[in-house]
Amino acid sequence: MNITIHIPTQTLELFDDSGNSLRRYVVSTGANGVGEENGSFCTPRGRHVIRAKIGAGQPDNAVFVKRRPTGEVYTPELGEQHPGRDWILTRILWLSGCESGFNRSGSCDTMRRYVYIHGTPDITALGKPGSRGCVRMRNAELTELFDLVTVGTEVRIIA
């Protein structure tokens, strides 16, 4: 299996090993556009792999901080208590770049930038850029994707 994230259409597509499309989801990528530099809050391009799957067994809307569940479950009321918080919910697929000098190593390292595919509150608009560089998905769709992929699954992000 492999994943393609298409920035212009704000979609994530899962393919089987024969190249057949299995699933297609609407996502939200970086509000600052594409880019690989640390601190840019842009979505990195190029070839990546899923380095880690985090959150198996957590409920939908489980809140994560620094890749650890906090024990909270997101509600609109919790959102109102923490305005401006970058909500990372339900599951995390942590990406690692594969192209040395472009999205791997040094100041452009996707993994060291903590770029994930992760869940987001239901009120978050998808289909347009809006994240801090990560790829946001609906929680139920992320859970489905999480269960279909393995660590090492290739992820291609194209602009």
pLDDT tens per residue across span 71-116: 999 999 999 999 889 999 999 999 999 999 999 999 999 999 999 9
Give the tens place of pLDDT for each residue, 21-65: 999 999 999 999 999 999 999 999 999 999 999 999 999 999 999
The CATH number assigned to the domain holding 109 equals 2.40.440.10
User: Given this model, what pLDDT does residue 107 score?
Assistant: 94
Q: Which residues of 21-57 are buried (b: 16+ CB within 10 A; e: fewer)?
A: eeeebbbbbbeeebbbeeebbbbbbbbbbbbebbbee
Give pLDDT, residue 84: 86
pLDDT at 11 over 90: yes
Domain count within the chain:
1
The C-alpha atoms of residue 150 and residue 112 are separated, in whole angstroms, by 20
Domain span including residue 77: 2-158
